[in-house]
Amino acid sequence: MKKKLDIFSKYLTLWVGLCMILGALIGYLFPGFAETLGGIEIANVSIPVAVVLLFMMYPVMLKIEFSKIAALRRNSKPLLLTLVVNWAIKPFTMAAISYIFMRYIYLPLIPPSLAEEYIAGMILLGLAPCTAMVLVWTYLADGNLNYALLQVAVNDLIILFIFAPLGKLLIGVSTNFPVPFATIFWSVVFYVAIPLGGAYITRRYVLKRRGQVALNKLIRTLDPVTKIGLLLTLVLIFSFQGKIMIENPLHIALIAIPLFLQTYLIFGISYFGARMLKIDYPEAAPSCFIGPSNFFELAVAVALILFGMESGAVLATVVGVLTEVPIMLSLAAIMKRNRKKFHFTRDLVQQEQVQEEV
């Protein structure tokens, strides 16, 4: 018998939509408040967002079984799929899709000079695969959080070496292409290292003093905190961009369309790639999420450095932030509905049957 969802989880998409609207209204009606909060940052990494993300990430990371991470090296197919999609496919499809839409389909609607900036911003999004938020999408889809963490760590390292050469190639920047190491460093610290360290210490303490039953109870108690943290994060992010959203609705909608197309395309490639490689569901879920989602903090930071605050490139990266959460929630739902298509081992089938009977 399957567990019934509480009203909060069942209508999470509705709450997400309401929080997006609420955040945009706050930013538009109280721009001074939004600007003050948005100005509290280190290397373009928002401290208020980092605080609410801590609440979102910590309960998720409590579920990570750190002792099992080393053993994941023996299962290389999900990681290889992720690397191929993130670095050999995604940047080039984003460049092609943005070019087609901005140069041809939107030619009567967007001036060529502005279209070039939008293309650059969308390419920056395509160059930056997601980090911490993959853990949230994996958690919502009941995937393997241990493997998601491994994929995040590997992609963070690769970003340091491949981000700049691909950026120069696809955007055509002849000068030094910036890799804001400070933004990457503080993003990893705030969004991964701090909640991960706190979760590790908590797990060790609770398991040592009170045992597995107590840890399971703590995880269940904190489970709603992740969703509350997600909603608070949306309110904050949308409040920072409320004025832009409300004053530029047409261009935001035009930019969102190719971003939607790119996200679902990359998910589709990852999804069918996972099935062709016969990757079991727990590892297939994070492998299908890390490509479609983006490291938007890095994309925004580089757009600011290259093109300036008022540029179309920055607006395009901001639209990437606006579209990501609703899209990724839909992809998490798609994965959960199709989890039985990723049953490639007998042990997994038996495990799923036991979970459904609980």
What are the structural domain ranges in the chain? 7-357
> Is 40 in contact with 236 (CB distance < 8 Å)?
no
Alpha helices in 210-311, H assignment, sequence order: 212-240, 242-247, 249-276, 281-289, 296-307
The fold for domain 7-357 equals Na+/H+ antiporter like fold (1.20.1530)
Q: Which two tokens stand for residue 175?
A: 């000068």
Contacts of 114 (CB under 8 A, 6+ apart): 312
Contacts of 302 (CB under 8 A, 6+ apart): 124, 167, 178, 179, 180
**What gap in Å lies between CA 247 and CA 258, rounded to an integer?**
20
Q: What is the mean pLDDT of each run of 10 residues along the chain (358 residues)?
A: 55 80 88 82 81 84 78 82 94 95 92 90 88 85 90 83 84 62 79 86 91 90 84 81 76 93 96 95 94 84 76 84 86 93 68 46
**What gap in Å lies between CA 78 and CA 76, rounded to an integer?**
6
- Residue 250 is predicted with a pLDDT of 87
- Residue 201 is predicted with a pLDDT of 93
Q: At which residue do the structure tokens 């799923």 appear?
A: 352
Q: Would you call 129 helix, strand, or coil by DSSP?
A: strand
What are the backbone angles phi and psi of residue 42, rounded to the nearest 5°?
Answer: -130, 120
- Residue 351 is predicted with a pLDDT of 52
Nearest-CA neighbor of 199 among 61, 73, 9?
61
- Residue 1 is predicted with a pLDDT of 40
Nearest-CA neighbor of 139 among 51, 59, 197?
59
Nearest-CA neighbor of 24 among 221, 242, 198, 180?
242
Q: At which residue do the structure tokens 């691909």 appear?
A: 166
Q: Buried (b) or exposed (e) across 235-262, using 16+ Cβ within 10 A?
A: bbbbbbbbbbbeebeebbebbbebbebb
Alpha helices in the chain, H assignment, sequence order: 7-10, 12-29, 31-38, 47-61, 77-84, 90-100, 112-126, 133-140, 145-171, 181-188, 194-209, 212-240, 242-247, 249-276, 281-289, 296-307, 312-337, 346-357
